[in-house]
Amino acid sequence: MEILIITGPPYSGKGTQCELLNKQLNFKHISTGDRCRLEKENGTGIGKIMSEYEEKGDLVPDSIMKDLFSEILDENKSNSGIILDGYPRTKAQVDDLLELVCSKKMKIGKVLNIDVPKPELLIRAKKRAETSNRKDDKDPKIHTKRIEVFEESTRPAVEYMKSKIKVLTFDGLGTIEEITKRIKASL
């Protein structure tokens, strides 16, 4: 099974691009955020722990995410490929994912990094809050916190990944179609 990773700051359009790639490649889209919300809604042990962190805009600890991703990879091993959206987010998670992938005899194809400046991210966050029914999208303080957490933890993880996996960075400004065209040209 091949793994494609989509990364970028919150509100950069990762989920939208994943859905479009899912249709083109016929890879299953695995949204970390959706899976975490499902775990929380179902009241699982891991979901309760995640709630405590995510409601403050903080990242879930790496050890918990590793356990969750081991489950996710096992559940999807019969697929030809998956698109990971929202994982890995820290250097430790990069190492954890590489270890999991190796132990399960899978491979990471490419990492697609969508780059969007902070002012645009805040505009997109506000728009998403207006259309979303997600509790975590309603608080502008959490929008800013999520972007700060990305800059502190995930951006260094993306840089770290560059020494281990092929990472392609794309300008995330423009229409959905323009961004999709940039990404498709690299695949």
Q: Is 178 exposed, middle or buried (0-12, 13-18, 19+ CB in 10 A)?
A: exposed
Q: What is the pLDDT of residues 85-103, one digit of tens each?
A: 989 989 999 999 999 999 9
Q: What is the pLDDT of residues 102-125, one digit of tens each?
A: 999 999 999 999 999 999 999 999
Q: What is the pLDDT of residues 56-88, one digit of tens each?
A: 877 788 999 999 999 999 999 898 899 999 899
12: Cβ contacts below 8 Å, ≥ 6 apart? 114, 115, 116, 121, 124, 172
> What residue ranges define each of the domains in the chain, with the CATH number in brackets?
2-186 (3.40.50.300)
